[in-house]
A and B are shown apart, each in its own frame.
Chain A
Amino acid sequence: MRNLWSITKRELTAFFVSPIAYIVVAVFLFLGGSFFYGRVQIYELYTRQMMSYGYGQPPNVNQELILYFFSFSLLVLIFVVPLLTMRLFSEEKKTGTEELLLTSPLSVTQIVGGKFLATLVLYVVILLFSVLIVLFGFLFGNPEFLPVLSGFIGLLLVGAAFISVGMLFSSLTENQVVAAVLSIGTLLLLYFIYYETYFSTGIVKAVIGAVSFTPRFENMIQGNMDTADLAYFLSFTFFGLFLTQAVIQSRRWR
């Protein structure tokens, strides 16, 4: 555990001395903030229309504002998380520091775990900032709290899964751009493949439905906490980390 923490500490400092982390955080928050602002304007328009007609229910803050924000965040994360993970192993391989790590009395699991933890910490920091955005919904409206909470838990889980995919591709190449592009491509595929279930039937539909994270995430941001979805995200993450570990382990046997 102490070894794992040594790796985590170093990775965290590496994140914060490199401009990438700041840029990624800034872009994510700027996009999220702008989008949220746009939805607030639409929401206001609806409300005014309702008031001028003088009938009907006022629009729901959760449905019309926060739900959209979560869905939009998912799309941004597909592009942003691979930019955080791309250097994790590629850079070590390129500069030769992997030789230092792998000839130290550390296990590969500790190295992979340490790097995962560091990225997760950074990711949680990003999420905490985006909580501030959603907070405005609570300042000026009266949304339900629990769906918002389960939405953020969804973001946390989906982020962890994305990190594991990014780490896997980073362990496969010494080129950071290649790692990022492959991760983004894979995540986009897993995102869009869900829409294929509208057109397919039988086993194909079942497999695609089981693989894609989109419906499970939708479920969580709607406020439905399902243990099946939790199990999906956790096993997804562990599987990604396991493969990463196996890739690095196997490099000894070239």
Chain B
Amino acid sequence: MIVVEHLTKKYGDVTAVRDLSFTVDKGKIWGLLGPNGSGKTTTMRVLTGFLSASEGRAAVGGFDVFERPDEVKKIIGYLPENVPFYPEMTVAGYLGFVAEIKQVPGPRRKEAVARAIESCGLESVGRRLIRNISRGFKQRLGLAQALIHDPQVLVLDEPTIGLDPAQIVEIRQLIKSLRRERTIMLSTHILQEVSQTCDGVAIISEGRLVVSSSLAELASSFGGREGVVLKVRRGAREAAASLRRIRGVNKVEHEGNEVRLEWEKGLDPREEILGIVSAKDLGLLEMRSAAPSVEDLYLKVISGGTIQ
């Protein structure tokens, strides 16, 4: 449903997105995950036709974004990072206006507004001015305006940013309830958001794609392995060398006074490890199990970037 091929976007000398390619199948919720400034918003702006690309191709619903922008705009609902409001309008008035410019035919407009208000839980604020409603309602209103023309594809840029934890849970549930036949792409810099809402994830860093795959695939590619992290008082470096000789252990890394080990699932050399630790008198402080996960991958990606 969403196809991005070798997309590059430059702002003058700054390259925001570099040779990005991924696809999202129909009916999936895909997370675009990356630290702030990694090119998520730029990617979404290109997909929605707000920005042009410097190179590459993007298509939504079979329509090329650059050649048939109007067709694409008709089937996309877009929630920008800064939710676009006219503060002097009422909630219902604003949705009516959005329905008009999204080409909802006149007779169906009233119904579309009512449906959007209902599905986003805005009944209590329908007649209030937008400037007077709370942050949480504004974010819901942002979703409502994206939904108004019943689009096949939803592009949501940081839909939960700036909300309190209870509101975050609400919005995530709302997004899941919106899925039905829709393809949804949402951007976030929070990993949990992806694991709780999405079917798949495209991780990007500094404008480049790190990985794009379904969560199930990602889990199985890491699932065949187990590991522990040891925290020792001294001698982490020497310990790493002798721990590497244990049969089945295929990865040993040490950093400061921590040693991370991984092995093939089912071998469980933990007793041997402990034997070496006590024989070498390393002063074991902590031993915790640490299966390699998407989180590690993501943390590696964003180290150096900012994260909440």
Contacts and interface: CB of A to CB of B under 8 A. Distances in A.
A104 B73 contact: yes
A95 B84 CA distance: 7
A97 B70 CA distance: 18
B101 interface: yes
A105 interface: yes
B84 A97 contact: yes
Given A104-B73, A104-B101, A105-B103, A99 B50 contact: yes
A98 B98 CA distance: 12
B36 interface: no
B74 A105 contact: yes
Interface majority SS (helix, strand, loop, mixed), chain A: helix
Contacts of B76: 103
Interface stretch (A3-11, A159-167, A236-244): A3-11
Interface string A84-114: 0000000000011111111111100000000
B52 A96 contact: no
A104 B69 CA distance: 10
Interface majority SS (helix, strand, loop, mixed), chain B: loop
Give 5 closest A-B pairs by Cβ, nearest first.
A100-B84, A96-B82, A6-B100, A97-B84, A105-B73
Contacts of A10: 86, 89, 97
Interface residues of A, number: 25
A97 to B, nearest CB: 4
Interface residues of B, number: 30
B84 A96 contact: yes
A17 interface: yes
6 contacts: A3-B101, A6-B101, A99-B84, A104-B101, A105-B73, A252-B50
Nearest to B80: A99
Contacts of A95: 82, 84-87
A18 interface: yes
B13 to A, nearest CB: 12
Count chain B CB atoms within 10 A of each CB in A9, A98, A252, A253 and give the residue with the most: A252
A14 interface: yes
B156 to A, nearest CB: 13
B51 interface: yes
Nearest to A97: B84
B50 A102 contact: yes
A100 B98 contact: yes
A17 B88 contact: yes
Contacts of B74: 105
